[in-house]
Amino acid sequence: MRIGRYILMVVGVCFVGLAVLMITYAQPTMSVPATPTAPANPANPTAPANPANSAGAVNAEENPIFAERFSELLPEERSTIQLYEKCNKSVVNIDTRTVRNSFFGELEEPGAGSGVIIDQRGYIVTNAHVISQADVIFVTLFNGESLLATVIGEDPVTDIAVIKIAAPKNALFPVQFGDSSKLLVGQKIFAIGNPFGLERTLTGGLISSLNRTIPGSLPSRSIKGIIQIDAAINPGNSGGLLLDTKGRMIGINTAIASRSGGSNGVGFAIPSNTVARIVPQLIKNGEVKRGDIGIDTVRKIDQSGLKGLMLIKLVQDGAAFKAGLRGASVIVERYGMYERTRVDYSTADIIVAVDGSKIEQVDDFTAVIDEHKPGDTVTLEVLRKNKKVKIPVKLE
């Protein structure tokens, strides 16, 4: 009997010890997902991933306050804090100075905006209108260091520009590019910029719409495919970062629709895929080389169910001329000592489509042509003498 009681006591002690051990290991621990490593950047495809954005390098959990308050924060708050800690150092403050001559002598006009670091060579993407005509450009990093920047290239057509600074790699935190073609209306987004000079401000919202068109800085040039957001952006946000919930750049904030000049819930951003397409050309050539179709003047047609662009004047020996397109004819009529010049529009081709896309506005036409480089061939569908004809044109 004594042996049996002894065995029962030993078993009981072991059971209690095992239970205590299991309870100890069952206590909640802080588990934060690692920050994903940034992929190769479109601006520098051969460059390795940025070590500064590697797992654990820039994380909110390094902040003692974050660790202290972790248990009381909502999951959504934790992810937002982590996103900001991961990405805010990728945003820079841009200050410009432009010297103007006036009756009173030279006047210095200040300007401000935001920019996004895209690789550790010091390249920064921003809006063309932020740095356009600036005589001096200063970039302020997250650590407060202010550096002189040089313009690498700008493209007013898409409102994208690239500038560069000379800074140590450990002070540069390139952003991770996302795929803007996969965006959905209603998707949650975040914007980081410098509204009114308030550095690296975070705002949030939703994608309100996609494929918007907004006026560009050049005549007869609109920017298409724009993302509409309801996140608060204000003067100074131009050139700033638009992020998805994974901390990937899905756009560059560029404009607001506002009568007062302040945010009223309608902001616009250039898609990241457009940025990824334009930036390498700016770095390589300082400009974007687009194909020239050789059309000088067109007239919008919208009558009797017919919509298109009538060719009024072609560039002599230009691409359209060589392809056999026809513009309006100039006819000179003589009456004795007098002569009269008139234009015969009946000979002019009317463009109704390019590469299968309907053309109803000048904007529609320039947008399609701008997507091509010299040497590409586009197919124009034109109405000629009431018959539709397809004509291939090799851009120059």
1 CB neighbour count, 10 Å cutoff: 5
Cα–Cα distance for residue pair 254/266, rounded to 1 Å: 11
User: For the whole model, what pTM was predicted?
Assistant: 0.71
**DSSP character at residue 371:** T
CA distance 155 to 150: 15
Query: For residue 63, what pLDDT is reported?
Result: 78
| DSSP 8-state symbol, 33 | P
- Would you say residue 162 lies in a domain? no
Which of 86, 132, 141 has the alpha carbon at shortest distance from 109? 132
In terms of residue numbers, what domain contains 325? 295-394
pLDDT-based confidence at 262, cuts 50/70/90? low
Single out the residue of 152, 372, 117 nearest to residue 284, CA to CA: 152
Confidence of residue 311 (pLDDT cuts 50, 70, 90): very high
341 plus 369 within the same structural domain: yes
Whether 70 is covered by a domain: the verdict is no
| Structural domains of the chain, count | 2
**Active site amino acids:** 129, 159, 238
Residues 318 and 346 placed together within one structural domain of the fold? yes
Cα 187 from chain centroid? 17
Last residue of a domain, one of 237, 256, 285: 285
Question: Which one, of 118, 116, 63, lies nearest residue 85 by Cα?
Answer: 63
Does 312 lie in the same domain as 213?
Answer: no
Q: Considering the domain boundaries, does residue 262 fall inside one?
A: yes
pLDDT value of position 34: 30
Q: In the predicted model, is pLDDT for residue 38 greater than 80?
A: no
The whole-number pLDDT of residue 31 equals: 29
How many whole angstroms from its chain centre is CA 92? Answer: 16
- Rounded Cα–Cα distance for residues 79 and 33 (Å): 9
Q: How many Å apart are CA 262 and CA 258, to the nearest integer?
A: 6
Among residues 266, 285, 304, which one ends one of the domains? 285
Q: Which residue has the tokens 């902001």?
A: 267
Final residue belonging to a domain, choices 231, 257, 285: 285
* pLDDT of 5: 55
Inside any domain, residue 126: no
Element (DSSP H or E) covering residue 112: strand 105-117
Q: How much of the chain exceeds pLDDT 70, in percent?
A: 80
User: Which amino acid, 230?
Assistant: D
Q: Do both 245 and 314 map to the same domain?
A: no
Whether 45 is covered by a domain: the verdict is: no
The answer on 314 and 226 residing in a single domain is no
Task: Say yes or no to pLDDT of 224 above 60.
Answer: yes
- The model's confidence at residue 344, banded by pLDDT at 50, 70 and 90, is confident
Residue 279 lies inside a defined structural domain of this protein = yes
Closest to 201 measured CA to CA, from 211, 209, 210, 190: 190
Strand partners, 297: 313
Q: What is the pLDDT of residues 109-151, one digit of tens each?
A: 888 889 999 999 999 999 999 998 889 999 999 999 999 999 9
CATH number of the domain enclosing 374: 2.30.42.10
| Partners of 239 in beta bridges | none
> Rounded CA gap, 388 and 157, in Å?
31
Could you tell me if 223 and 311 lie in one domain? Answer: no
Residue 93: which residues within 8 A CB-CB, separation 6 or more? 112, 114, 115, 139, 140, 194, 197, 199, 200
Asked if residue 341 lies in contact with residue 316, where contact means CB atoms within 8 angstroms, the answer is no
Residue 277: phi and psi, rounded to 5, are: -80, -35
Regarding whether 240 and 304 lie in a shared domain, the answer is no
Q: What are phi and psi of 81, to 5 degrees?
A: -65, -45
How many whole angstroms separate alpha carbon 350 and alpha carbon 295? 12
Q: Do residue 275 and residue 323 come from a single domain? A: no
Better-predicted residue by pLDDT, 233 or 229: 229
> Quick one: which of 222, 300, 223 has its CA closest to 269?
223
Residue 325 lies in a domain: yes
Query: pLDDT digits over 43-57, tens only?
Result: 554 443 443 343 334
Q: Lowest mean pLDDT of 50-64, 97-111, 206-220, 352-366, name the range.
A: 50-64
pLDDT in tens, 265-275: 688 999 999 99
Closest to 255 in 3D by CA, of 277, 273, 235: 235
- Looking at the structure, do residues 317 and 274 belong to the same domain, yes or no? no
Inform me whether the pLDDT recorded for 59 exceeds 90.
Answer: no
DSSP 8-state symbol, 21: H
> 372 falls in which pLDDT band (50, 70, 90)?
confident
